[in-house]
Amino acid sequence: MTILKCSKTLVLCVDRDNDVGEKAGLKTPIMGREAVVAAATKLALADPEDSDVNAIFEAVRVYDKLMATEEGGTVEIAVIAGDSSVGIESDREIGKELDAVLSDTGMDSAILVSDGAEDEWIIPLIQSRVKIDSVRRVIVRQSEPLESTFYVLKKLLEDPKFTRTVLPPVGLILFLLAISLLFNISDKALGIILAFIGIYTLLKGIGRENVVMNLAETLKQSLYSGRISFVTYIGAIVLFITGTFQGIGSSWNYFITMDSEIGESVLLGFVFIKNAIWWYIGAALAPLIGKMLYMFMEGAKIVRHWAIFFSIIASGLIVWGGSESIILLSEGNYPIGYQILFLALLGAVIISLIGVKISWYMRKSVIEDETTELGIETEET
């Protein structure tokens, strides 16, 4: 490496998290070869495993090489540090120390020596003050994969999106495993964990992974405002849990009594749906009923909620009828199976039409009331 004539080059080593100050008790900036070597030695004695030790000695090596090939240019070496709380304060401190070094030395270019990817985040900060000719990254060969993995994990854990999405499910799973080990119910806990993972994966796949958080927020707001919907939300949760256990119990009983032929295990899912669906429908209707009651007590007109109410019931009837029909058909009861499917579809259509009719009637009533109010106002005018 050769320096152009009359060039002024600064070999700069940056310790972004201030290990030099925290571990070795040294104050930065540190300038001059002897002072830098002494600082590296003191840091090595304080913590031989610190990667900044290698970076500082590499800066000394680069400095010596430049001095040996100097052709009338000036070379200086310096170590600057930030703050243990890596971030804005750390980068501001680095900027201040770099300004002080450049003011004392008058260097017009720099060679940055770094101990890893984290320190290289401050390259734009340095470039705003002095031209960077080269960047030398130093990682101990034996620990390069470990350091890279640690750095990636650290950045992921600092990402709010990652922590809010991944860590809560992982924490809940670990908690359930701990409880199962303490009370020797690992088989039941495993079932709950698998159910939780399945539900979370399903919600994540359809983009509704925040539904639980939104439900918790709604519950909190309902509790603070004293709305009746708080009670109905609690009821919905109880109904959902009850329906889940009802479905699991029915599926287990069916599994015990069924023949072990290949393919019949698929029916367990339909048995679960058949026995749990109306509990789930009740869980879906409970918050809606609570909202309708709140609107009624407030004197507001209930319009589109009627259509939603009857549509939920109609959907439940179709799902129940389809499940029951498949189970009966698998058992050879073809006439009854087809009849139930037909009646379920017919009943769902009728129920949906009732909901649409009520909703249409209530909408018409609202429009008439608004027209009447406008007519009164016009006469008064």
Q: Give the distance, in angstroms, between the CA of residue 226 and the centroid of all CA atoms in the same chain.
A: 31
* Strand ranges across the sheet with 131-137: 30-31, 74-81, 8-15, 109-114, 131-137
pLDDT digits (tens, 9 = 90+) for 161-186: 666 667 777 777 777 777 777 777 66
The angle at the Cα of 270, spanning 266 to 276, to the nearest 5 degrees, equals 140
Structure-block tokens of residue 109:
């270019």
Parts of the chain with a pLDDT under 50: 1-5, 142, 260-263, 376-381
The b-or-e profile of 320-355 (16+ CB within 10 A means b, else e) is bbbbbbbbbeeeeeeeebeebbeebbeebeebbebb
- Please give the model's pTM, rounded to 2 decimal places: 0.44
Structure-block tokens of residue 30:
């540190």
CA R_g for the chain: 36
Ramachandran category for residue 274: left, alpha or beta (phi over 0 → left; psi -120 to 50 → alpha): alpha
Angstrom distance (rounded) from CA 147 to CA 134: 22
pLDDT of residue 291: 80
Please spell the DSSP secondary structure of 127-172, one letter per residue.
HTTSEEEEEEE---GGGHHHHHHHHHHHHHHH-HHHHHHHHHHHHH
pLDDT digits (tens, 9 = 90+) for 12-51: 998 888 888 888 888 888 999 999 999 989 988 988 877 7
pLDDT of residue 259: 55
Angstrom distance (rounded) from CA 254 to CA 70: 87
Angstrom distance (rounded) from CA 152 to CA 179: 31
| Structure letter (DSSP) for residue 78 | E
| 85 φ, ψ (degrees, to nearest 5) | -90, 90
pLDDT of residue 70: 67
pLDDT of residue 174: 77
| Structure letter (DSSP) for residue 120 | G
pLDDT of residue 52: 84
Count CB neighbours of 27 within 10 A: 10
Structure-block tokens of residue 251:
């599926």
| Structure letter (DSSP) for residue 122 | G
pLDDT of residue 191: 66
DSSP H or E stretch at residue 247: helix 229-257
Q: Strand pairing partners for 80? A: 14
Residues 6+ apart with CB under 8 A from 226: none
Per the CB < 8 A criterion, the answer to whether 10 and 76 are in contact is yes
Cα→Cα distances 122→82, 86, 220, 234, Å: 10, 11, 43, 51
pLDDT of residue 135: 84
Length reported for the chain: 381
Residue of 21, 69, 67, 29 lying closest to 47 (CA atoms) = 21
Say if strands 131-137 and 109-114 run parallel, antiparallel, or are unpaired: parallel
Residue of 36, 74, 66, 34 lying closest to 136 (CA atoms) = 66
Per the CB < 8 A criterion, the answer to whether 293 and 309 are in contact is no
